[in-house]
Amino acid sequence: MKPATWSLADLEIIGYADDRDQTMLPAIVPPVFRSISNPDVVLVPPFAVRFDVVARATELSFAEAESLPDRREVTLFFGAPLVAQPDHELWLRRNGEVVYQPALEARRELDHLCKLATQRARIALAAGDMASAEAAASKAILSNDRSVAAFAIKAAIRRKLGKPAGERLMAELAGDLLDLAAFHCLVNHYRSSVPALSAPPVEPLLGRRSPMKDMATFLPHQ
């Protein structure tokens, strides 16, 4: 009978169960474990890591695990594996660098990245640069998917662009973080920071304008 749990002391990390390009980073990723005492045993998600053990993992042979990258289900490391440790987080920086560090340090660094991205999103929104604001807000959410401000900025962008369905989606995604009324107040705040479109310049009146001026520039009615 296969064991229900595996000790982290007997595991190393040989990759992660995800396949992401740079537009989907940074991101926390689930590790792919390999047994040190029995190298043919590989553990993939879903699983639960509790203190110093891994429970309820899917067990594969190493040959099976090697075929998963072709199906874009896992990414295996080319270099040396990482030693599995309790209370650690595996994540990828924006440049694809793999980071394995204590969970508290990882959360602190990701929260910092989220704050920087949210600040850039606010500045871009106030400048009327919707594309840059959208990109920065998306990066903030990738860094911390509990960033209410980033969801509200994305909702404000959709309201500005006349996309009510997109705005409602952002409200739903933030529903577990903030009640709907408070979320709408935050969206109103960010929407009010978006500059209005500039009015076209008015041609000064320098005298009586001839009613025939510029008539040649209009096509005749068909």
Predicted local confidence at residue 197, as pLDDT: 54
Among 108, 182, 120, which Cα is nearest to 150's?
120
pLDDT mean over 43-71: 93
pLDDT at position 4? 76
Q: What percent of the chain has pLDDT over 90?
A: 79
Residue 3 pLDDT class (50, 70, 90 cuts): low
Lowest-confidence pick of 124-128, 148-152, 215-219: 215-219
Q: Could you tell me the pTM of the whole model?
A: 0.82
pLDDT digits (tens, 9 = 90+) for 66-104: 998 888 889 999 889 999 999 999 999 999 999 999 999
pLDDT at 73: 87
Region 152-177 average pLDDT: 96
pLDDT of res. 72: 85
Residue 212 — very low, low, confident or very high, per pLDDT cuts 50/70/90?
very low
pLDDT reported for residue 219: 42
DSSP secondary structure of the chain: ---SEEEGGGEEEEEES----GGG-SEE--EEEEESSSTTEEEESS-EEETTEEESPEEEEHHHHHHGGGGTS-EE-SSPPEEP-TTEEEEE-TT--EEEEEHHHHHHHHHHHHHHHHHHHHHHHHTT-HHHHHHHHHHHHHH-TT-HHHHHHHHHHHHHTT-HHHHHHHHHHTTTTS-HHHHHHHHHHHHHTSPPPPPPPPPP--SPPPTTTTGGGSPPP-
Q: pLDDT-based confidence at 220, cuts 50/70/90?
A: very low
